[in-house]
Structure 1
Amino acid sequence: MSKKAENIDLDALLEAIKEVKINGKSIRSVASQYNIPKSNLSRYISNLTANNVDFATADANDIKNMIAPMVTYGPKTYFTAEQEMELMKYVLFASNIHYGLSIVELKTLAYQYAKKIGIEYPAEWDTNGHAGKHWYYLFMKRHPNLSLRKPQQVSANRSKAFNKENVDGFYKNLSDVLAANEYEPHRIWNMDECGMPTVPTKAVKQIAEKGQKQVATTTSAERGTNVSLALAANAYGNTVPAFFIFPKAYMREIYLTHAGHGATGDANGSGYMTSDTFVKWMKHFIVHSGAKKGSPTLLLLDNFTAHLSIEAIDLALAHDITMVSFPPHCTHKLQPLDATVFGPLKTALAKQHDAWQKSNIGVKFDIHHIPQIADICLDIAATPRNIKAGFASCGIYPFNPDNFSESDFVAANPTDEMPSTSIEQNDFERRIVVLSADDIEPGAHEEVATSESSFATSSTSSSAITPAVLRQALNAVGPLNLGTPAKKSNRGRKPMKAAILTSPEVVADLREKADAKRKKIEQQKEKGTKKGPPAKKNKPSARPTRQAKRAARPTRDVEFCILCFDDMPERMTAQNTAKCIECQREVHLRCVYASPNTFKCPNCESDGE
């Protein structure tokens, strides 16, 4: 088998090296056992030994990353192992600060990097302005720790807020609470809201004719109406029944007709959590979680303003519930529901919505259908396995304050230059491999000129360039450039921090703010009742106003369409309304698929049968 077609298994190669270095077997016997050329195995072991690698304690991934550049895939590489290792570190650095490189950007960087340090490369790189596709595939194959991923969009506020200070503050509060009471996993809860629109933001892929320019799918509207779902789950993997928040002024029984057992909801006009709605959710949570005095319960939630009402805090204190808030803009990393439940829930929602539309062609998907498919989606996404994985990945249960390493906080203070030492390794999981003193040159930390001529050396001398020079070359030609941020403003709210919301200090502060707000409202009312200048009298109009016309209209018995359950128009005409020929009940004309002159409502049809 030729070198080009040979597929080298790095895991098997690592096991062979350990057999020689740890178990003391001969290179010849191990090479024969693992079907590896003796000369190649000897070369790999010599290179690793020269770097002072401790095979007994070194992490397997670190050793494989050092072996990968030594393994030859296809033709001879243009970069040396050291030059390519620095390029790989730059790619990881860009990903860690949330500015990862695309395939085109990597190929362009490889070309500019090769040109900067003066190595030989194909002439077609100059013609295209970037490295070839074949080089990219071999580069990714030589570095198995790299893969092409679809990133999750994270706002700049979240990137900056997720720093060591905020995260350590949250774990300090959680540690104090856990030290005061011993909470069983079924008493540790996380609560959060999730939007469930009537039109999903992501469509399900469908099979269509190959080459068709546009593939469409039918939705109920151009823009969907959002219904919020408030969900609570505990570290044991259980959830309380769903709580829905509808964007209507009044709550109707029809909204929860198809909801799951125990589910309830509220309507507040906006469809989002408010202080009054959160109090209703707290009562719902207390009933289904069994929270009571003498049975301590821990509730983790974000510090949204609606969660900070005094009435809700008093309910929590009365039922021995300790409320701990996450730091702002950090819930994507610290909140279990965000980490492992809401992602699969949104995916399941899109699939179930698509299936509902196919089985109800021509019927509008409305807000009262949301609880019906939400119950199915929760069975798919809010499984005990997903919930437990969320609590573990966030370091809440089992409690792990060292859950995040330094590399997780790099994006909080982004820079356009790769640091001289990589911080991608976790001190508790990986061991830093130290290079020998002979590999470190005395001038590695000195300032080096970055002009084109300083790197334009021959391919023979380019192999002697120090890692510091290579990093400086990558920083000079790389796509990362630090911009000038706008000046900070002192206006607006002060940023909040993680806190124990039921602690005496926080409760006293919330009561003080509530009293100040109430006094301000009372003062505004008093100012409004004071006598001002006499108001101008408007001449009475001969024509009645629109409000007077509405007040004069008789109230209708039928307030909604019995086919789609939407409100009927205020002014019903033959252009928008059809009547049942039996009971004369009015429905939307768009809901009638037969002739309006022969339409019978479902009630009359069932009576006739």
Structure 2
Amino acid sequence: MRTYIRKTNRGNNSKEQIETAVAFVLKTHQSLRNAAKIYGIDKCTLKRYLDKAKAANCSTFNHVGYAKSKQVFNDEQNEKLVAYLNFSSKMCFRLTPLDVQRFAFQCAKHYNLRIPPSWKERKMAGKYWFDSFLKRNPDLSLCSQDANSLGQCIDFNRGTVDMFFEKLALLRDKYGFEARDIWNLDETEVTTVQTDCQVIDDKAMKQAGGLKSNERETHVTVCLAVNAIGNCIPPMFIFPRKKYYDHFVKDGPPGCVGASNDFGCMTAKELFEFMKHFIQKVKPTMKRKVLLLLDNHESHFDAATLTLAKKNGVIMLSFPPHFSSALQPLDKSIIGPFNKYLQTAQRNWIVSNPGKKIAIHDIPKQVAEALPKALSPTNIVAGFRATGIEPFNNIILPDNAYLPAFETNVPPPAIPFDESYQVVKLEEYVETLPTEIEFVDAHNTEEDEIAFQCMEQSNTSMSHKAKVLIKRKRIKSSQLH
């Protein structure tokens, strides 16, 4: 039976309760009926333990109540299994129920444990065992996983994060940036089709229907910029239209601007316009420069935009690839609440305008209703604090955040080296050599002759194509391991 429901309360008395009742009878010579009534124990149960105490001449017991149900794994093995599942989950290699059942069978074989015959037949644990395993470990649960790209899992490592924070610390020390001078720029898409949400409906209904404004989505990009003390500038809207007209944003947030292109997304042209908007609102100067943090999208590195920013005192620093969700303040504390408030605003618009569809020109008005609620100073400051940008904290990310890159963090291989010069085979080591080492073609310089003499002394045979010289740098073993 998968779920057993107890029909009596037998065996629920604690060990201390039984021992106290037995000691009470032996000391006071009270009747079993009175003692059982006083301590809330069944009379027959108390008599059984009293007889055991008299036979052993001791009022303490090693075990009280029903014996524990037989389990395949003991407590220590169960803890190891749970620890492995948690570790795999943090590495983004989460196991399905069938994977857990197969793994449990392999563990049982490894420990030479007694297992049911059905496990041996199916080469996996049973479904009843899996259900009981989840009940015994309430910290584990079945959930739907979010897809993580392979590139994100590989690139998200401690070395890259440390490199970003080193650059951030260098810029802060060099230019003396205060919290008001540190800004973050990011874009988010707003669609004319509402996302599904939870609603109240009759239990008999298997599927709850709801109204949507459009069948096909049309996206409008909203570009935001906030600083570390909780301030923001008016947003910029990018519409999927050939030509832009000022009436597109007439109902938008005060001071907002707009642009348009074929796809309604950020390009180099639109970022140049936003940079002019940013400079106009923030008013940086060459004496009081500002730091602008943004992701490394290709549109953010246009030569015209970089030149404009440099001339007006805007220092731009990009986040590493695939790090926006962990290091970008807007992604951390603003975009999520903004999408929820926007969903509510669009649902209210549909109720207030029955029979009408949401057009792209209605989005600025809906954003004007939702954005101020999300762009509160508390949310903005919390985003900068949670990412370790302001106040500066380069160890803000926990160790388990880097576990997805655990298998790909391979140390550089050892390379044989000489005290002064080194001659190696190109085919074997060209892919593994440190980037700071220079290579010079063979038979071209006097240094080559020194390298060839070293090669002859070491009796190393190499093809002409494979001869390379690593010059003018003594390579310490600490750099290679």
Could you state the TM-score of these two structures normalised by the residue count of structure 1?
A: 0.52
Describe the SS at the equivalent of 1:324.
strand
In structure 2, the CA distance between the partners of 1:374 and 1:77, relative to structure 1 (3 Å rule), is farther
Show the 5 A alignment for 1:111-510: 111-120=105-114, 129-132=126-129, 134-141=131-138, 144=139, 146=140, 151-200=145-194, 202-414=195-407
In structure 2, the CA distance between the partners of 1:385 and 1:76, relative to structure 1 (3 Å rule), is farther
- Letter of the aligned partner of 1:267 in structure 2? S
Gaps of 5+ in 1: 7-72, 416-489, 491-609
Deviations 1:287-326 (A, max 9, x none): 2223223222110001222111222112212221111011
Which structure has the larger Rg over C-alpha atoms? 2
Checking the alignment, whether the CA contact within 8 Å between 1:186 and 1:236 is kept in structure 2 is: yes
* Larger relative contact order (CA 8 Å, sep ≥ 6): 1
In structure 2, the CA distance between the partners of 1:324 and 1:130, relative to structure 1 (3 Å rule), is same
Describe the SS at the equivalent of 2:113.
coil
Checking the alignment, whether the CA contact within 8 Å between 1:108 and 1:130 is kept in structure 2 is: no
Q: What CA distance in whole angstroms lies between the structure 2 residues aligned with 1:340 and 1:2?
A: 53
In structure 2, the CA distance between the partners of 1:253 and 1:375, relative to structure 1 (3 Å rule), is same
Q: What CA distance in whole angstroms lies between the structure 2 residues aligned with 1:149 and 1:312?
A: 44
Deviations 1:73-116 (A, max 9, x none): 98565422321121112111211211223456445543553355
Deviations 1:363-407 (A, max 9, x none): 010101111111222223222222222212222111112223443
User: What is the aligned-residue RMSD (CA, Å)?
Assistant: 2.9
- Letter of the aligned partner of 2:400 in structure 1? S
- Letter of the aligned partner of 1:383 in structure 2? S
- Letter of the aligned partner of 1:338 in structure 2? D
Offset at residue 354 of structure 1 (A): 2.1
Deviations 1:243-269 (A, max 9, x none): 110010111233112201111111122
Q: What CA distance in whole angstroms lies between the structure 1 residues aligned with 2:394 and 2:11?
A: 48
Checking the alignment, whether the CA contact within 8 Å between 1:187 and 1:234 is kept in structure 2 is: yes
- Letter of the aligned partner of 2:222 in structure 1? L
In structure 2, the CA distance between the partners of 1:236 and 1:3, relative to structure 1 (3 Å rule), is farther
Give the aligned partner of residue 600 of structure 1: none
Describe the SS at the equivalent of 1:239.
coil
In structure 2, the CA distance between the partners of 1:74 and 1:148, relative to structure 1 (3 Å rule), is farther
Q: What CA distance in whole angstroms lies between the structure 1 residues aligned with 2:208 and 2:316?
A: 48
Checking the alignment, whether the CA contact within 8 Å between 1:111 and 1:131 is kept in structure 2 is: no
Report the count of equivalent residues: 346
Checking the alignment, whether the CA contact within 8 Å between 1:4 and 1:74 is kept in structure 2 is: no
Gaps of 5+ in 2: 1-8, 15-66, 409-430, 432-481
Q: What CA distance in whole angstroms lies between the structure 2 residues aligned with 1:268 and 1:345?
A: 24
In structure 2, the CA distance between the partners of 1:3 and 1:296, relative to structure 1 (3 Å rule), is farther
Q: What CA distance in whole angstroms lies between the structure 2 residues aligned with 1:102 and 1:156?
A: 19
In structure 2, the CA distance between the partners of 1:392 and 1:122, relative to structure 1 (3 Å rule), is farther
Checking the alignment, whether the CA contact within 8 Å between 1:110 and 1:131 is kept in structure 2 is: no
In structure 2, the CA distance between the partners of 1:389 and 1:148, relative to structure 1 (3 Å rule), is farther
Could you state the TM-score of these two structures normalised by the residue count of structure 2?
A: 0.65
Q: What CA distance in whole angstroms lies between the structure 1 residues aligned with 2:12 and 2:374?
A: 45
- Letter of the aligned partner of 2:390 in structure 1? Y
Describe the SS at the equivalent of 2:344.
helix
Offset at residue 338 of structure 1 (A): 1.4
Q: What CA distance in whole angstroms lies between the structure 1 residues aligned with 2:338 and 2:100?
A: 34
Give the aligned partner of residue 574 of structure 1: none
Describe the SS at the equivalent of 2:291.
strand
Deviations 1:22-56 (A, max 9, x none): xxxxxxxxxxxxxxxxxxxxxxxxxxxxxxxxxxx
In structure 2, the CA distance between the partners of 1:106 and 1:360, relative to structure 1 (3 Å rule), is farther
Q: What CA distance in whole angstroms lies between the structure 2 residues aligned with 1:251 and 1:189?
A: 27
Checking the alignment, whether the CA contact within 8 Å between 1:204 and 1:351 is kept in structure 2 is: no
Q: What CA distance in whole angstroms lies between the structure 2 residues aligned with 1:2 and 1:288?
A: 76
Deviations 1:558-605 (A, max 9, x none): xxxxxxxxxxxxxxxxxxxxxxxxxxxxxxxxxxxxxxxxxxxxxxxx
Residue 90 (str. 1) matches residue 87 (str. 2): no
Offset at residue 176 of structure 1 (A): 0.8
Q: What CA distance in whole angstroms lies between the structure 2 residues aligned with 1:397 and 1:391?
A: 5
Q: What CA distance in whole angstroms lies between the structure 2 residues aligned with 1:319 and 1:239?
A: 19
Q: What CA distance in whole angstroms lies between the structure 1 residues aligned with 2:310 and 2:203?
A: 62
Deviations 1:511-564 (A, max 9, x none): xxxxxxxxxxxxxxxxxxxxxxxxxxxxxxxxxxxxxxxxxxxxxxxxxxxxxx
Q: What CA distance in whole angstroms lies between the structure 1 residues aligned with 2:10 and 2:179?
A: 57
